[in-house]
Amino acid sequence: MESEEFKRLFIPLADKLYRIVRRLVDNDEEAKDIIQDAYLKLWEIRDQLREIENREAFCVRLVKNQALDYLKSARYKNACDSISGDMAQEIPQTEKNADPLSEMIRTENGAIVSKLIEHLPQQQKELIRLRHYGECSMEEIVGLTGISAGNVRTILSRARKKIKEEFEKIFEYEHR
């Protein structure tokens, strides 16, 4: 596959792939790096890519894998420790065409919930990110993490209950 064909087929997917990675890793620079690495990998196997039926699904899987590797890496743990949740606190941009007040509340709650997720144990944090931010199906999570479906459910349940418990305290305090 020549570079022109490669670019024509894969560059248009970049925005979508970036969004997927960015949802999972919460950091612009890391997301960019992950995408670049993914494109390098794609380029290396470019001759086999013709045989792949669903290129987009293949790329999505590839970047999710790379993002998960990053979340498991020492680099990510160091980033979490040194910035101590600054990234998690980062307030996302508000959605357009929505009621500004409810949007502001949502944004604020979003930041609180991100922070609560950051404080979960490593495995719970990973699965919550994959499920809620990465919108991964159960099969995908099992494939990506190698954890059995039963265990994924247990870990997700524990994490969700924990987040709810903590969130409830904050929410009730704010609405007293």
Partner 1 sequence: MNTDELNRLLEKFYDGETTREEELKLERFFSSEPIPAHLQVDRELFLSMKKHDSQIEVPQELSGMLSDLIDRCEAEDAQTLSAPKGFSIRFKAFTQQFRFYSAAASILILLGLSLTLFKMNDTRPRDTFSDPMEAYLETQRILSYVSKNMQAGEKAVALYDTNLKKVHQVLEEKRIIE
CA distance 65 to 80: 20
Burial of 141 (0-12, 13-18, 19+ CB in 10 A): buried
Number of residues forming the site for partner 1 (CB under 8 A): 50
Angle at 73 between CA 60 and CA 36, to 5 degrees: 40
Which residues, numbered 106-165, are part of the site for partner 1 (CB under 8 A)? 106, 109-110, 112-113, 117, 128, 132-133, 135, 137-138, 152-158, 160-161, 163-164
Compare residues 80 and 112 and give the one whose CB is closer to partner 1.
112
Helix, strand, coil % (nearest 5) of the chain?
A: 80, 0, 20
Q: Are 112 and 167 in contact (CB under 8 A)?
A: yes
- Given a contact cutoff of 8 angstroms between Cβ atoms, the answer to whether 92 and 110 are in contact is yes
Residue given tokens 């293949």 in the structure block: 58
Candidate ranges 34-42, 50-58, 62-70, 73-81; the one touching partner 1 (CB under 8 A): 34-42
Minimum distance, C-beta of residue 28 to partner 1, in the bound complex (Å):
7
Asked if 93 touches partner 1 (CB under 8 A), the answer is yes
Is residue 106 exposed (0-12), middle (13-18) or buried (19+ Cβ within 10 Å)?
Answer: middle
Member of 35, 63, 88, 120 binding partner 1 (CB under 8 A) = 35
Residue from 92, 121, 122, 143 in contact with partner 1 (CB under 8 A): 92
Nearer to partner 1, 78 or 105 (CB): 105
| Smallest distance, partner 1 to C-beta of residue 167, A | 5
Query: Could you tell me how far CA 131 lies from the centroid of its own chain?
Result: 8
Instruction: List interacting residues with partner 1 (CB under 8 A).
Output: 3, 6-7, 10-11, 14-15, 18-19, 22-23, 28, 32, 35-36, 39-40, 43, 92-93, 95-96, 105-106, 109-110, 112-113, 117, 128, 132-133, 135, 137-138, 152-158, 160-161, 163-164, 167-168, 171-172
